[in-house]
Amino acid sequence: MEYFLQQLINGLTLGAIYGLIALGYTMVYGILGMINFAHGTIYMLGAFISLIGYLAATTVGGAPVTLALLLALFATMAFTALWGWTIERVAYRPLRKAPRLAPLISAIGVSIILQNFAALAQGTRAKPLPPVIRGGFTLINSDDFPVSLSWMQIIVFVMTVTLMAGFTWMITRTSLGRAQRATEQDMKMAALLGIDVDRVVSATFVIGAALAGVAGLMVTLYYGVIDFYIGFLAGIKAFTAAVLGGIGSLPGAMLGGLLIGLIEAFWSAYFSIEYKDVATFGILVLVLVFRPTGLLGRPDVEKI
């Protein structure tokens, strides 16, 4: 039981991170119908930028930990947002009317570029960061297996919930959110009604990238080690989460992320850690075969 509870906490933490990345995938897919393959690498860049930002603030600027973390957070969001904006502008926008596969290939190209750019610029060795935020609570003080909840995990939850709340508010209450929803339903119609579709798409990439950047920051702090390759697998898993939740659905992305995190944690804990990725992809295949619209996705009637 204690062991189970601990895995639940670990799984939810991991899932929250996947969920944040998944939001970017689901938003872009909802609007452009395209798999933004480079999204995982943005998350990787986020992890690097946050590490650099944090170190710059503490070692160079001499800032206290809390301030340094806040600075790193804002810097990460700003820089990843700029990366997201640039990528859309340079590699996707010219291809919006191109054959369906063109933007996908371009996106794969971008992700290869960024991954190797990171490897060249920062080296291929993994970068360790000693734990910044230590300590936590022991929830159950059992003899054979104490269940603990670390401060870091609490921070991950709080930040995810805050971002989700802010995000939901933006989508439902602001004019940008309305424009975004309209564009998602029918881009041509939205443009005819005077919505600046280019701006909406840019905003989508900026927001998605910033969220992925936050996920990168949290991973840096939570695991304390990053390398240039982390974007690929996390990207696939986050996309899996988006599909599992129902692509295009924002709560679905979060739910899918949590589920993937839980599956991974429990599978590693109870079955085999080597095959945890097989479990994730296996679930993806099963979901798509039996419920192609995902858990929260709207069923769509084939238009003939």
| 136-140 vs 147-150, strand pairing mode | antiparallel
Report how far residue 231's alpha carbon sits from residue 237's, in angstroms, rounded to the nearest whole number. 10
Using DSSP's 3-state secondary structure scheme, residue 256 falls into: helix
User: Considering only residues 126-145, where is the footprint of another protein by CB under 8 A?
Assistant: 127-130
User: Considering only residues 19-48, where is the footprint of another protein by CB under 8 A?
Assistant: 29, 33, 35, 45, 48
What is the closest distance, in whole angstroms, from the C-beta atom of residue 125 to another protein in the complex?
A: 7
Of 104, 132, 154, 170, which one interacts with another protein (CB under 8 A)?
Answer: 104
Q: Which stretch binds another protein (CB under 8 A): 51-59, 164-172, 183-191, 260-268?
A: 51-59
Instruction: Give the angle subtended at the CA of 223 by the CAs of 217 and 226, to the nearest 5°.
Output: 70
Q: Is 116 in the site for another protein (CB under 8 A)?
A: yes
What is the closest distance, in whole angstroms, from the C-beta atom of residue 204 to another protein in the complex?
A: 18
User: Considering only residues 169-228, where is the footprint of another protein by CB under 8 A?
Assistant: none
Which residue lies nearer to another protein by CB, 157 or 229? 229
Using DSSP's 3-state secondary structure scheme, residue 21 falls into: helix
What is the closest distance, in whole angstroms, from the C-beta atom of residue 158 to another protein in the complex?
A: 25
Which residue lies nearer to another protein by CB, 210 or 243? 243
User: Considering only residues 53-72, where is the footprint of another protein by CB under 8 A?
Assistant: 53, 55-56, 59-60
What would the two tokens of residue 137 be?
A: 């609570």
What is the closest distance, in whole angstroms, from the C-beta atom of residue 281 to another protein in the complex?
A: 4
Of 154, 236, 262, 269, which one interacts with another protein (CB under 8 A)?
Answer: 236
Q: Which amino acid is at 206?
A: V
Of 64, 125, 143, 175, which one interacts with another protein (CB under 8 A)?
Answer: 125
**Measuring CA to CA, how many Å separate 198 from each of 28, 49, 194, 206, 208?**
13, 27, 11, 12, 15
Which residue lies nearer to another protein by CB, 13 or 240? 240
Judged by CB under 8 A, how many residues of this single chain contact another protein? 72
Element (H, E) at 68: helix 65-87
User: Considering only residues 70-89, where is the footprint of another protein by CB under 8 A?
Assistant: 75, 79, 82-83, 86
299 CB-contact burial (10 Å; exposed 0-12 / middle 13-18 / buried 19+): exposed
Of 134, 143, 175, 301, which one interacts with another protein (CB under 8 A)?
Answer: 301
Q: Which amino acid is at 132?
A: V
Look up tokens 């992925």; give the residue.
212
Reference 170, options 196, 200, 198, 150; nearest CA is 200
User: Considering only residues 257-296, where is the footprint of another protein by CB under 8 A?
Assistant: 272, 274-275, 277-278, 281-282, 284-285, 288-289, 292
Judge whether 156 and 16 are in contact, CB under 8 Å.
yes
Of 1, 62, 64, 121, which one interacts with another protein (CB under 8 A)?
Answer: 121
Reference 202, options 284, 108, 119, 92; nearest CA is 92
Q: Looking at residue 93, what DSSP letter applies?
A: G
**Residue ranges of E strands in 129-179:** 136-140, 147-150
Of 1, 64, 101, 144, which one interacts with another protein (CB under 8 A)?
Answer: 101
